[in-house]
C-alpha cells in the first residue's frame, strides 16, 4: 500500500478524532468505558498538531502517527488507523519506518499497548519485547 505522512494542522482535529474513535473506542471502553463528551474533551486537550503526523493513502486520511523523540529513545506514542486500513500491512510499514529511523540514530523504540489490543501480536512479530506491565497496558521496547 502506498502511503505518506504529512504534518497535522488544527483543521485536521475533527477528522483525526474520528480516526481515533474508530481505532481506540473498543479498547478504551473495555478498560474504563467510553463517554463521548469526556473522550472528545481529552482528545482536544492533548491535540498538538506539531507532534502528530497524518497518514494518507490514495488521497485519503487513514489515521495518525505520533512519535515522541525523547533523545535517547523514540516513543511510539500513537498509531491509529481507520478500520479499512487495518490488516493491510500499512501499520507494519509505518512502524518499520519508525524502526528504520531509530536504527539510523542507534536508539530504541518504546511503546505501550492496551493489554487486550491485538496489535500487541504485531509488535511482537516486529521484534518488540515486553519490558513492563501495568494493570491496563503492556510496555514494549525494540532495541
Summarised one tens digit per residue, pLDDT across range 36-90 is 999 999 999 999 999 999 999 989 999 999 999 999 999 999 999 988 888 889 9
Task: List the domain boundaries for the chain.
Answer: 4-142
Q: Domain 4-142 falls in which CATH fold? A: Aminopeptidase (3.40.630)
| 32 secondary structure, DSSP code | T
Contacts for 3 with CB less than 8 Å, ≥ 6 apart: 55, 56, 57, 62, 90, 93, 94
pTM of the model: 0.91
Summarised one tens digit per residue, pLDDT across range 3-46 is 999 999 999 999 999 999 998 898 888 889 899 999 999 999 99
Per-residue model confidence (pLDDT) at position 88: 87
Residue 1 in this model has a pLDDT that exceeds 90? no
DSSP per position, 50-89: GG-EEEEETTEEEEEEEEEE-SS-EEEEEEEE-GGGTTSS
Amino acid at each position: 500500500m502506498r502511503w505518506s505522512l504529512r504534518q497535522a494542522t488544527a483543521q485536521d482535529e475533527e477528522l483525526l478524532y474520528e480516526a481515533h474513535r474508530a481505532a481506540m473506542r473498543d479498547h478504551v471502553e473495555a478498560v474504563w468505558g467510553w463517554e463521548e463528551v469526556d473522550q472528545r474533551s481529552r482528545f482536544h486537550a492533548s491535540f498538538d498538531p506539531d507532534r502528530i503526523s497524518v497518514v494518507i493513502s490514495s488521497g485519503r486520511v487513514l489515521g495518525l502517527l505520533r512519535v515522541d523523540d525523547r533523545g535517547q529513545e523514540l516513543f511510539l506514542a500513537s498509531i491509529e488507523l481507520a478500520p479499512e486500513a487495518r490488516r493491510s500491512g500499512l501499520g507494519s510499514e509505518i512502524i518499520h519506518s519508525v524502526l528504520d529511523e531509530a536504527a539510523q540514530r542507534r536508539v530504541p523504540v518504546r511503546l505501550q499497548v492496551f493489554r487486550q489490543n491485538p496489535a500487541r501480536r504485531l509488535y511482537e512479530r516486529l521484534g518488540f519485547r515486553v519490558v513492563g506491565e501495568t494493570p491496563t497496558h503492556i510496555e514494549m521496547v525494540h532495541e
